[in-house]
Chains A and B, each alone.
Chain A
């Protein structure tokens, strides 16, 4: 094993075990593990499957969320090398797939299936697809085995006396989380016009951006904002109010949709106008300076309304800072941002050449008078994540 390879294996294990220590999300963790697995081993696709306690295997994570690959792993989990590996409880390698095998048709040549063990039980399978035929090298096989063991640890965090009962609960929980993630992917794919793999990437980006767990954000997106559920979400949860893409032609409708949505969430008339203005202004900026189209996500969480307005680039100039002083009357993005900054309690910019994500927070209980309503400002100016300043 070359030293650079040793280093990357060590780095990956350090990253993964750091995640395991914290309060982690099993679906996201196993996705990361599957991606690292592809990076480290000479294989091109990885699927993580777990026992569903009904005698079968279900796919919990994939190195790519592309629908076609997910379906290949689903088929493998039902009847294929991975299903055989689970039934036999030992590794199974198919060095050269049959030309008619759907996995071969999809462009792969070999399958390596490793059992995921926990004490005496086989709780899942790590499935590896390679585009080159033949067995894995010894080094790759060792790394794969270590990753399979790590998968087992991730699936059972507690080691209680009634270990199998707790394991059963946790495996079922992870399977439910996976279903919720699929439902949320469907919602995002439809509302944002994305492919399933892109929908997963967006879900993951958004969850990280707001610092919440993937499965919880997925559950909030999949649940949506429907009566008779109260607009106020349960503690620790958020209510997703509006998710859409927009362009110049629909800006007017967008404004009406924002107003209608936030009215339901208890803002008074001047607050509604102010917040609608801020979000709309950000959307106008996205259209004017961010490539003509944009994306809005509007939600309620922990006593505040939040809006994230995103565009597709080219990003704000490096070191950009929102002026605290009123700008001149000339039209331009700085005026829009200045006003948004005045209205909202929190403005957070994450900008790169790939696009700008503007995150706005507006407290629901702010005592406001006059117009434009100015919410309390916890802090003035300062550094924000994403390399730029507001």
Chain B
């Protein structure tokens, strides 16, 4: 199936370029003809939003601008949880949306920016910004390939946050997200941590994430706090 093809592509990207997410970003630039550079900004509980990687001077400028100006495709992708595909920064619509960013980004040499959020629901790991020096769309196949890179980057960032949990657990079934919500409530921890705990548990038990998730949703498996329950 086509869906399986995407999954295989993500697994291949992770195996070829991981575990270093910055190598993956460079591979993305090298493999996608419509992309001239990539920047990765990540969110961590400790440091907030910060720039993790930029492939060249222009992508460095794009990341820096968005952090200092507080506006731009990356910021919007992060807050909206959806890709922001700005195909022509010179176009009035984008100029009105980010007046300062578009001016400076064009000056720096970027004409189009495609921001892909690395989100799993409310679990927000970061955003990848791809730029190109000429205006134009990220055509059909290129968009799906860019999304495969984004999915692979997400896997690597998750694996980094919980070392030793591997990266073979790619899945998007509803039960996984439901179980993540249940674990978050059981342990009273943010969704991002709950997601990591669920993955770690699957890895430790050498079962798939789907199977662990089903056990949680069916209430056959429960994550518990070590201390005595104080709240009702």
Whether A223 contacts B178 by the Cβ 8 Å rule is no
Q: How far is the CA of A180 from the CA of B186 in the complex (A)?
A: 18
B61 interface hit (Cβ, 8 Å): no
B6 interface hit (Cβ, 8 Å): yes
Whether A224 contacts B190 by the Cβ 8 Å rule is yes
Chain B residues in 8 Å Cβ range of A57: 3
Chain A residues in 8 Å Cβ range of B1: 56, 78-79, 83
Whether A244 contacts B232 by the Cβ 8 Å rule is yes
Please encode chain A, from 170 to 187, with 1 for each CB lying within 8 Å of some chain B CB and 0 for all others: 101100110110111111
Q: Which of B4, B122, B180, B232 contacts A219 (CB 8 A)?
A: B122
Chain B residues in 8 Å Cβ range of A188: 181
Whether A224 contacts B87 by the Cβ 8 Å rule is no
Complex interface residues of chain A between 45 and 66 (CB less than 8 A to chain B): 52-59
Chain A residues in 8 Å Cβ range of B180: 183, 186
B5 interface hit (Cβ, 8 Å): yes
Q: How many interface residues does B have (CB within 8 Å)? A: 49
Whether A257 contacts B81 by the Cβ 8 Å rule is no
Given contacts A187-B182, A253-B230, contact A168 B175 (CB under 8 A): no
A146 interface hit (Cβ, 8 Å): no
Whether A226 contacts B189 by the Cβ 8 Å rule is yes
Among the 9-residue stretches A189-197, A312-320, A322-330, A338-346, the one with 4 or more Cβ atoms under 8 Å from chain B is A189-197
Interface secondary structure of B, over-half rule: helix
Q: Which of A53, A77, A170, A190 contacts B182 (CB 8 A)?
A: A190
Whether A54 contacts B189 by the Cβ 8 Å rule is no
Whether A87 contacts B178 by the Cβ 8 Å rule is no
Interface secondary structure of A, over-half rule: helix
A222 interface hit (Cβ, 8 Å): yes
Among the 9-residue stretches A67-75, A93-101, A105-113, A353-361, the one with 4 or more Cβ atoms under 8 Å from chain B is A67-75
A331 interface hit (Cβ, 8 Å): no
B169 interface hit (Cβ, 8 Å): no
A137 interface hit (Cβ, 8 Å): no
Q: How far is the CA of A166 from the CA of B93 in the complex (A)?
A: 13
Chain A residues in 8 Å Cβ range of B179: 186
A142 interface hit (Cβ, 8 Å): no
Chain A residues in 8 Å Cβ range of B204: none
Q: How far is the CA of A179 from the CA of B123 in the complex (A)?
A: 10
Which residue of the partner chain B has the closest CB to A296?
Answer: B232
Whether B184 contacts A168 by the Cβ 8 Å rule is no
Chain A residues in 8 Å Cβ range of B121: 176, 179-180, 182-183, 222
Whether B3 contacts A56 by the Cβ 8 Å rule is yes
Chain A residues in 8 Å Cβ range of B232: 244-246, 250, 253-254, 257
Identify 13 residue pairs between A and B in the complex whose beta-carbon atoms are under 8 Å apart, listed by A's number.
A56-B1, A169-B84, A169-B85, A172-B82, A172-B83, A173-B80, A183-B184, A186-B177, A186-B184, A187-B181, A196-B217, A222-B184, A222-B191
